[in-house]
A and B are shown apart, each in its own frame.
Chain A
Amino acid sequence: MERFSEMSAIMRKELKSYFNSPIAYIVITIFLVFTGFFFFKDFFYFSQAEMRNLFQLMPLMLCFVIPAVTMRLFSEERQSGSFEILMTLPVTSRNIALGKFFAGTIFSAVMVSPTLIYLVTVVLLGTPDFGPVIGGYTGVIFLSAAYTSIGLLASSFTRNQVISFISAWAACFSLWLIDKAVIFLPSKLGFISYFGTDYHFQNIAKGLIDSRDVVYFISICVLSLMFTIKVIEERR
């Protein structure tokens, strides 16, 4: 119980600093402008009132946006020296990593939440199938969590936020790319597509919440968080 309160204190502090800094609002705005453009393009050009295209695009969008959200989590602390303060508080590295991870994930969820307005327009003008919509949003949460954990790991390595952003982006983008690259490989290597984030996300977004896909995302989170804890314990 005690441990949970330490973690939640760190999480709330991180959330507060997100919303106190302009970067948060810039990232949210960019995200909404792009998703809004792609959503309403289909909406008006093709008179399609549906969310599917939005979710098709989401994994790629989040590749760019989430590293921008997570890049400061550890890098900024290393740069300013407050990392030393953080590490000399009586808190385990695990609680520090988890606090920051949940803060990043919640922030990403908040960032995506305005797209629910698109859903309202779709409901008003069409007859959406709610299965894929619920699946889509569940998938977005899982995907955000996975990308956040990767971003957190990238951020724990360096004091430079630009390096943190680029390496997180490269890792997330590669994971998105994997199942698309499979067509160039012999069919024996087809299993590689299981490593791709998009493959699992599209499964969930169909409205099928399969344990295999959920396990995939959770494994990414657990692995990245474990490495993050290792890194902050070793690299001081």
Chain B
Amino acid sequence: MISVNGLTRSYGNFKAVDDISFTVRDGEITGLLGPNGAGKTTTLRMLSCYLNADKGSVIVDGINAADDPLRIKQMIGYLPESAPLYGDMLVFDYLMYIAEVRGIPGVQRVGEVAETCRIKEVMHKNINELSKGYRQRVGLAHAMIHDPQILILDEPTSGLDPIEIVEIRNLIKELGKKKTVILSTHILPEVEATCDRVIIINKGRIVADDRTELLQSAAGLNKKIIIRVSGADFGTVKSAMTGISGVRSVEPADDPELTAAVISVSGNAEVRPEIFRIIASNNWMMYEMKQDQVSLENIFRELTVGGANGTVQ
């Protein structure tokens, strides 16, 4: 178990990470989500003992990272952003070197991780010659070579093509069955696809922290339905729609020709048939009715773009 308490780190006057606390349970894939510059990399760098925290502590399995960083470094496998490996080395030599420094009998173990990460066919190539996808996989192999219980991956899929992304995600999911994985990303679907749990960070602070499905349904609790009709002004539409049970509010939306309204619905109520019936019975013309996509994206946008500091419960 990893517990992070009040972690803070500044670069000069800029507070990159500001008083972050969370715990990561064993055997979970946790996604650290946030826009660029939110403090994800800084957080992960402190977890991996690359950076020292200004304040706060990282405790892994009861060991404080500040007291015994070497011990923590042995327990963690860390892949920095964009896999900055030694480009002038052969993949095999590189993995052997890492194994040697970590004090692991090399050849057999290197073979095993090469199998897991599917890099067997590039073992004799220079790391510089690899495609980004292979490079990232070699980075994963590097992080896994000592079979750590905890894997920390900083933007493991950035810069990859769609096929490579899917491959890396599957690999991470597979690893997540046995290990604790913490990964960072600014891509939402990635969190939805791979993570059990998501921590959303903005401007160095945690704005949301929950299981992925709970966050998704929390977003689902606040559905929005947008309609565009003609034949009635907004006031008439509003008074007609407010009567439907489950509707919380009706707001005007921008439209040059038609009457447009955004209907906010609370709970899981399905109000679309009722809306349609009202429109039809009043002989208004309906041009459009759509339900806003229910996804983490909404939460993400609300929490990060607005700079909100509230926590989604």
Residues of chain A whose beta carbon lies under 8 Å from any beta carbon of chain B: 2, 5-6, 9-10, 13, 16-17, 20-21, 80-85, 87-92, 236
Contact = CB atoms under 8 A, between A and B. Distances in A.
Contacts of B89: 13, 16-17, 20
B132 to A, nearest CB: 14
A163 B220 CA distance: 56
A21 B74 CA distance: 31
Contacts of B102: 89-90
B101 A85 contact: no
Nearest to B98: A89
B45 interface: yes
Given A82-B84, A88-B73, A6 B50 contact: no
Contacts of A6: 101, 103
A179 B87 CA distance: 43
11 contacts: A6-B101, A6-B103, A80-B84, A84-B50, A84-B84, A85-B78, A88-B48, A88-B49, A89-B101, A90-B73, A236-B51
Interface residues of B, number: 29
Contact of B50 (A10, A80, A87, A92): A87
Nearest to A83: B84
A9 B104 CA distance: 12
Contacts of A10: 101
A85 B84 contact: yes
The DSSP consensus for interface residues of chain A is helix
Given A17-B86, A17-B89, A9 B101 contact: yes
Nearest to B70: A90
A159 B84 CA distance: 14
Contacts of A81: 80-82, 84
Interface string B74-112: 101010111011111100010001101111000000000
A87 B89 CA distance: 18
A108 B193 CA distance: 53
A89 B73 CA distance: 6
Interface string B27-68: 000000000000000000100111110000000000000000
Given A17-B86, A82-B86, A236-B51, A88 B78 contact: yes
B186 interface: no
Contacts of A9: 97, 100-101
A179 to B, nearest CB: 40
B224 interface: no
B184 to A, nearest CB: 14
A22 B70 CA distance: 35
The 6 nearest A-B residue pairs measured at CB:
A81-B84, A90-B73, A9-B100, A84-B80, A90-B74, A82-B84
The DSSP consensus for interface residues of chain B is loop
B97 A85 contact: no
Contacts of A87: 50
Contacts of A2: 103
Interface string B115-142: 0000000000000000000000000001
B87 A80 contact: yes
A49 to B, nearest CB: 42
Contacts of B49: 88
B100 A21 contact: no
Contacts of A21: 88
A24 to B, nearest CB: 12
Given A85-B142, A89-B101, A90-B70, A20 B50 contact: no
A20 B97 CA distance: 15
Contacts of A88: 48-50, 73, 76, 78, 80
A84 to B, nearest CB: 4
Residue from A80, A89, A90 whose CB has the most chain B CB atoms within 10 Å: A90
B97 A13 contact: yes
Contacts of B73: 88-90
A88 B49 CA distance: 6
B53 to A, nearest CB: 12
A62 B87 CA distance: 29
A189 to B, nearest CB: 42
Given A9-B100, A81-B82, 5 more contacts: A81-B84, A85-B80, A92-B70, A236-B51, A236-B52
Contacts of B81: 81
Residue from B49, B52, B87, B100 whose CB has the most chain A CB atoms within 10 Å: B100
